[in-house]
Amino acid sequence: MTFIISLKDKLNRKPLETPHHCQMCLSHQKSTFSDLSNDAKDELSRLKTCVSFRKGQVIIHEGARPQGVYCIHNGKVKLYTMGTEGKEQIIRFITNGELIGYRSLLSDEPISASATALEDTFACYIPKSSFFKVIEENPKFSLKLLKMSCHELGEAGKMITSLAQKNVKERLAEILLILRATFGEDEEGYLNISLTREEIANMVGTATESVIRLISELKKEGYISSKGKRIAVADRGALQQIANIFE
């Protein structure tokens, strides 16, 4: 079964409409599955389930053993672990076309980080049997997964170094740059993601009060601007200097 989708059909579809077939998905080009053959996409589409999540709803919990992966069709998701005293440490964000849960499926271990929708999110749940069949039959896809896994390992290493060696202001500047690179900016130049100060603090790894103080400090210095929860990067170069990031 192969679907031929015209560009017109794709443009006519609302972004949140549930895709019955991976070929029809608007996030398809960004997706990990983009290079797969039509047969492989048929296999993925055959058993998948579309699950919708409300803003703030938990998608997956640390410690569970889901026997499949989630591919985000539309939405923004935070990945975090629970520290002692129930404090969240945000590890990273997931957006359209990215996968959740593939590493625990490959390693046959429980999920190591929880995921919560930051806005109304649609995801496709692909069962283990379809996912593994596609891996076995598509060496290029397996290599892509390996690359993704290695990349995430590298990013985790960078995060450990950042948490261990950088001060809070340096980490905050780095996080703001990461958020800008991941989600981009809206028409007014604000980051295209709405995070509470607590969530930013959970990503930086500090107290909410410190983040509030440092955001107003960066604002006074003219490096960022803010309006309610929204933040805009005004001087990227200066933030890079503060964060000790060299391009």
Partner 1 sequence: MFRIVGFNTIQETLKALLPFNASNLLLEEIVMQSSFIQFHGVGECLFKKGDSPLGFYFILHGKAEILIPGTESIKLVSGQMGGLDAFLEEEKLLFDVISCSPHLESIFIDRRCYEFIIKQAPFKKFIDQSLLRYVGAYRQLLVPPQSMFL
User: Is residue 22 a contact partner of residue 33, using CB atoms and an 8 Å limit?
Assistant: yes
Alpha carbon distances (Å) from 78 to 100, 143, 167, 217? 10, 25, 23, 26
Structure token digits, residue 48: 């998948």
Q: Torsion angle, CA of 120/21/114/94, rounded to 10 degrees?
A: -70
Residue 53 found at the interface with partner 1 (CB under 8 A)? yes
- Sites for partner 1 among residues 103-142 (CB under 8 A): 110, 114, 125, 127-129
If DSSP codes are grouped into helix, strand and coil, which group holds residue 236?
helix
Q: How many CB atoms lie within 10 A of CB 174?
A: 22
Q: Report CA Rg, the chain.
A: 19
Binding piece for partner 1, criterion CB under 8 A, among 27-35, 52-60, 72-80, 216-224: 52-60
**Residue 131: CB minimum distance to partner 1, A:** 11
Alpha carbon distances (Å) from 211 to 2, 54, 184, 216? 51, 27, 21, 9
**Residue 165: CB minimum distance to partner 1, A:** 30
- Sites for partner 1 among residues 26-45 (CB under 8 A): 45
**Residue 122: CB minimum distance to partner 1, A:** 9
Contact pattern for partner 1 over residues 180 through 219, marking x by CB under 8 A:
----------------------------------------
Q: Torsion angle, CA of 229/233/238/242, rounded to 10 degrees?
A: 40
Residue 61 found at the interface with partner 1 (CB under 8 A)? yes
**Residue 103: CB minimum distance to partner 1, A:** 16
Among 56, 83, 154, 189, binds partner 1 (CB under 8 A): 56
**Residue 4: CB minimum distance to partner 1, A:** 18
Among 12, 86, 140, 188, binds partner 1 (CB under 8 A): 86
> Applying CB under 8 A, which residues contact partner 1?
18, 20, 45-54, 56-68, 82, 86, 110, 114, 125, 127-129
